[in-house]
Structure 1
């Protein structure tokens, strides 16, 4: 059953009460407002695990979660100081640093690969990005994937004029693909299980073409903190990042239990659906980049490449921003 935004907000308020009870006396804990960049889901499991499993409470932190409607809104709330720390796209932060000089710093990587991908049906003959030439491609109007689409096409010698791009409601993309209303959809790797279920119901199989496999190397979702928070309460920030990292590791090792935690705090989300999203998301968090650089780390060259891609996509001058000025590595526990 679909959730209303108001319903989710009520559930999140209830979740904050539960977290306070888990952490013992609420007046003894440091209060932290965590800002989501979208509604709750399996890709947001670590913060709910932190609350439900007591990892935040162990660090003396009581969390209140605020839902969001995209990275831009999340960044706006963090910049305004109404939220302390949260998850949002570091690319969106880089753009906001150039245009608005926002007082926000990235303190930990969550997705060290971008979630963007093309989805097609296996019997369509579309098996690689070059095959989208001359095809109908559907996308959501507001997804950040649209910003990077020209870049991933150009990497394969194509341009937007080589495809017919239409914009549709996110909920319509899967049905459009399954019914043949479009040849290809643009969606996130965090939703693979949802589209696989739709394909199975239609007697189809999917061909998934992640853009990171085609050379779009960049950081994406990250922990972003308001500069006010990390300046005035640096010890709280460091303890929170420690608890969040522990929660992320727990989600990897215990995906089903993590899904149960999300369901406990947001009952509208079914355990099976959440677990599917957790498994989809894991490839963006734990992979060869993680093995090489470490969990949560901003590696210098990859950070520079992220800015290079953001600058190209947003048509910024390369010298408009030093990517190192966007991050702090001081809060990530060794």
Structure 2
């Protein structure tokens, strides 16, 4: 005797079938989880990835170089990493990776100082003690920023310290200036407030360092074998970026739900710090996620100069694929 399935049972079976059919994608972070990585967590928590039939697994990283290595090896499908690092890797290692969407259309690099210490513009770092992390990509661009203002590294006293020590060094006066990312403004602002001080932030993009930075990169294997999945993922990721901008509080909660060791307050602070690198005058002019030809060429010009690579060694247009961003 046949039995009639209830509506709830049918819905459950359809849901199970949909989940079973989801395309699995391994997303590679270029660093540890944080508010600056909110879009991928929002994509999962708010169902934007699931709506596109995609199930995402997130892999943490320890820098753009490691992220690029994993993407090139095919252990991850798509991820976020600095496009400058990819440009260098394309020249030196011929990696099979393509940039498919811009995330930060402005570089995150900056000088941080305490207000009232005489550092209010880039030129004021001359003669100062400057502390930086040993591994940050900011160190690569430091000579260019200084040169743009008529200085060299000989004009500063550069010290390298653990990233976690930079804030305390600045607050205690152990270093007059530190080099860090704009994604850490809220962290350092809190530290300064606790010490009864105010922060002076000098982003390098304001000094003329015009370049793309964090970007969505994909392995060529993923693009070639699963182009439809790549297109659907970019669609979901872009929607997540826009959601984070409009809903920072909810986005911070979404990250905390998946990574509970991160406080909602700290995540929101990092989200607010990061938005200026994603939504700004460049975005207004070119569109979200777009690689504009002239800015891409300028990025390679800066990267090749910083890395001492032959400018003719790479055609930056050959390492991007804009088709996945198109609706």
The TM tier, using the shorter chain, reads: over 0.9
Alpha-carbon offset, residue 293 of structure 1:
0.0
Structure 2 residue matching 1:125: 3-state secondary structure? coil
Q: How far apart, in 2, do the equivalents of 1:126 and 1:291 lie?
A: 31
1:78 pairs with 47, 68, 71, which one?
71
1:142 match: 135
1:27 pairs with 2:20: yes
Distance 2:269 2:24 in 1: 31
Please report how far the alpha carbon of residue 24 of structure 1 lies from its aligned counterpart in structure 2 after TM superposition: 7.2
* Equivalent residue, structure 2, for 1:44: 37
Match of 2:88 in 1: 95
- 1:211 to partner: Cα distance: 0.1
Relative to structure 1, the CA distance from residue 24 to residue 266 in structure 2 (aligned partners, 3 Å threshold; closer, same or farther) is farther
How far apart, CA to CA, are the structure 2 residues paired with 1:320 and 1:184?
35
Q: 1:68 aligns with which of 55, 61, 78?
A: 61
Distance between the aligned counterparts of 1:182 and 1:67, measured in 2?
31
**C-alpha distance in 1, partners of 2:229/2:200?**
44
Q: CA deviation at 1:52?
A: 0.3
| Equivalent-residue separation in structure 2 for 1:211 and 1:23 (angstroms) | 50
Describe the SS at the equivalent of 1:123. Answer: coil
1:276 has 2:254 as partner = no
Mapped pair 1:303 → 2:296: yes
| Residue matched to 2:49 | 56
**CA apart distance, 1:258:** 0.3
Answer yes or no: is the 8 Å Cα contact 1:133–1:163 preserved in 2: yes
Matched, 1:118 2:111: yes
Cα 1:279–1:24 shift into 2, 3 Å: farther
Give the structure with higher Rg (CA).
Answer: 2
The answer as to 2:193 corresponding to 1:190 is no
Residue segments in structure 2 that go unaligned for 5+ positions in a row: 1-14
The separation in 1 between residues aligned to 2:59 and 2:151, in whole angstroms, is 40
Unaligned runs of 5+ in 1: 1-21
Asked if residue 263 in structure 1 is aligned to residue 256 in structure 2, the reply is: yes
Alpha-carbon deviation of 1:123?
1.2
> SS of 1:64's equivalent?
strand
Helix, strand or coil at the partner of 1:209: strand
Deviating beyond 4 angstroms after TM superposition, the runs of 4 or more aligned structure 1 residues are 22-25
Q: Is the 8 A contact 1:139 1:166 kept in 2?
A: yes
For 1:241 and 1:254, locate their aligned partners in 2 and report how far apart those are by CA, in whole Å: 20
**Residue correspondence of structure 1 range 178-327 to structure 2 within 5 A:** 178-327=171-320
Could you tell me how far 1:26 is from its partner in structure 2?
3.3
Q: 8 Å contact 1:23–1:54 — kept in the other structure? A: no
Q: Distance in 1 between matches of 2:27 and 2:20?
A: 18
1:218–1:302 Cα contact (<8 Å) kept: yes
Q: Secondary structure at the match of 1:82?
A: coil
